[in-house]
């Protein structure tokens, strides 16, 4: 089964590019750019990656992103991730980036987006990997800040497929961003949002009803509402679930308590993704392997999870048919 997991061509739909920054590259870029980081060694970094909730992770994750300065840095970060895709047989990837994490440090939007995009163009040329870019608004910042980011993105619209919402969920519900999502939709972007990761199921209802999203990122708290479960099932709204992340951030106490198998068995459109793999002990294959080892997933379950990712992706129908 582990061989099957490794061999199956896969689609990644929930991957924060800043969350693929491995400690080795973090050290290299810190030295090159003369940026102080609070770690003496790789050992030290691994030791710090011991989280108790989403916020304890985010604090460390945003500090790590400070080493990214030039277009080449964003290219190298993305290219390093592409090599992981090759290793894990990911043939299509949809990448989140957080522009505000960088523009707030004086890095130009153009530097970030062109660095990422150039690497993705090369990934297609060199490995045939298809991709798209999803720009996320940081929900701990204001809706006004999100509007300003959307304005900055418009000259680079051709590179960006969708708009998303991430960062500290509790206390920052989707309703805070209703107007900016409306504008993003009018501009032709697809829409996604993190909801029901730490926040309760009402965040998922809001993402659906107020933001009009195409996909929910995480969504595991849906299990606490029978009405929502019924709706997610009948509308087949995709949930991009990230098991390793949920364990590392203590959304579930252990793998055996993870609810992805229950969601799948109920008939929801769930798929498996890696979120911030450099911080959460592994890329997409490791997520599948952990699920298989703890939740007794069948071969059929694994194939369904993989197929769900392709069918929920933002690729053209033509490409979807080819992949499926």
Q: Residue positions in the annotated binding site for substrate?
A: 276
Taking CB under 5 A as the binding criterion, the range among 157-165, 222-230, 274-282, 295-303 that sits at the site for Zn ion is 274-282
Q: Name the binder of 248 from ligand ADE, Zn ion, none, CB < 5-8 A by kind.
A: none
Which residue is nearest to ligand ADE, using beta carbons?
166
Binding status of residue 12 toward ligand ADE by CB under 6 A:
no
| Residue set of the binding site for Zn(2+) | 14, 16, 194, 275
User: Exposed, middle or buried: residue 182 (CB in 10 Å: 0-12, 13-18, 19+)?
Assistant: middle
Both tokens assigned to 192: 């996604």
Choice among 18, 22, 197, 248 that is catalytic:
197
The smaller minimum CB distance to ligand ADE, of residues 57 and 323, is found at 57
Q: Does 18 bind Zn ion (CB under 5 A)?
A: no
Q: How many residues bind ligand ADE (CB under 6 A)?
A: 10
Q: How far is the CB of 265 from ligand ADE (least distance, A)?
A: 24
- The torsion defined by the Cα of 216, 221, 222 and 226, in degrees rounded to 10, comes to -170
Exposure on the CB side of residue 174, measured as CA atoms within 13 A: 29
Q: Which does 222 bind (CB under 5 to 8 A by kind): Zn ion, ligand ADE, none?
A: none
Q: If binding is defined by CB under 6 A, does position 19 make contact with ligand ADE?
A: yes
Q: Which is nearer to ligand ADE, 100 or 131 (CB)?
A: 100
Listed in sequence order, the residues at least 6 apart from 136 whose beta carbon sits closer than 8 Å to its beta carbon are 16, 96, 97, 98, 163, 164, 165, 166, 167
* Chain-centroid distance, C-alpha 278: 12
Q: Which of 10, 84, 194, 261 binds ligand ADE (CB under 6 A)?
A: 194
E strands, 49-189, in order = 90-97, 130-138, 160-166
Is 197 one of the catalytic residues? yes
Pick 58 or 315: Cβ nearer ligand ADE: 58
Tally Cβ neighbours within 10 Å of residue 2: 11
Distance CA 18, CA 115 (A): 13
Residue 76 touching Zn ion (CB under 5 A): no
For tokens 């045939």, what's the residue? Answer: 128
Question: Residues comprising the binding site?
Answer: 14, 16, 194, 275-276
CB 11 within 8 A of CB 309: yes
Asked if 218 and 194 count as a contact pair (C-beta separation under 8 A), the reply is yes
| Per CB under 5 A, 275 contacts Zn ion | yes
Which residue, 61 or 201, has its beta carbon nearer to Zn ion? 61
Nearer to ligand ADE, 88 or 276 (CB): 276
Nearest residue to 136 via CA among 155, 111, 161, 119: 161
Q: Residue 195 gets which letter from DSSP?
A: E
Which stretches of the chain bind Zn ion, using CB under 5 A?
Answer: 275
Which stretches of the chain bind ligand ADE, using CB under 6 A?
Answer: 16, 19, 54, 166-167, 194, 197, 245, 275-276
């Amino acid at each position: 089964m582990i061989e099957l997991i490794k061999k199956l061509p896969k689609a990644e739909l929930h991957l924060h590019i800043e969350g693929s920054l491995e400690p080795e590259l973090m050290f290299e870029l810190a030295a090159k750019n003369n940026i102080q980081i609070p770690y003496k060694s790789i050992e030290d970094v691994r030791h710090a990656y011991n989280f108790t909730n989403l916020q304890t992770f985010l604090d460390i994750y945003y500090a790590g992103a400070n080493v990214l300065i030039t277009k080449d840095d964003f290219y190298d970060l993305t290219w390093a991730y592409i090599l992981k895709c090759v290793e894990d047989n990911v043939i299509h990837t949809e990448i989140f980036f957080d522009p505000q994490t960088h523009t707030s440090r004086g890095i130009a939007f153009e530097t970030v987006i062109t660095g990422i995009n150039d690497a993705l163009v090369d990934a297609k040329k060199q490995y045939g990997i298809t991709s798209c870019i999803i720009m996320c608004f940081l929900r701990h910042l204001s809706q006004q800040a999100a509007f300003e980011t959307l304005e900055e993105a418009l000259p680079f619209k051709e590179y960006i497929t969708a708009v998303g919402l991430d960062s500290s969920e509790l206390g920052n519900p989707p309703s805070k961003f209703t107007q900016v999502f409306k504008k993003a939709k009018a501009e032709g972007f697809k829409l996604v949002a993190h909801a029901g990761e730490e926040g309760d199921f009402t965040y998922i209802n809001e993402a659906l009803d107020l933001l009009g999203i195409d996909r929910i990122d995480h969504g595991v708290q849906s299990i606490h509402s029978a009405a929502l479960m019924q709706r997610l099932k009948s509308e087949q709204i995709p949930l991009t679930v990230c098991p390793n992340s949920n364990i590392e951030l203590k959304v579930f106490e252990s793998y055996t308590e993870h609810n992805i198998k229950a969601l799948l068995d109920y008939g929801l459109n769930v798929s498996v993704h890696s979120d911030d793999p450099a911080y959460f002990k592994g890329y997409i294959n490791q997520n599948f392997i952990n699920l298989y080892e703890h939740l007794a997933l069948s071969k059929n379950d694994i194939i369904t999870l993989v197929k769900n990712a392709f069918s929920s992706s933002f690729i053209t129908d033509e490409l979807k048919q080819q992949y499926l």
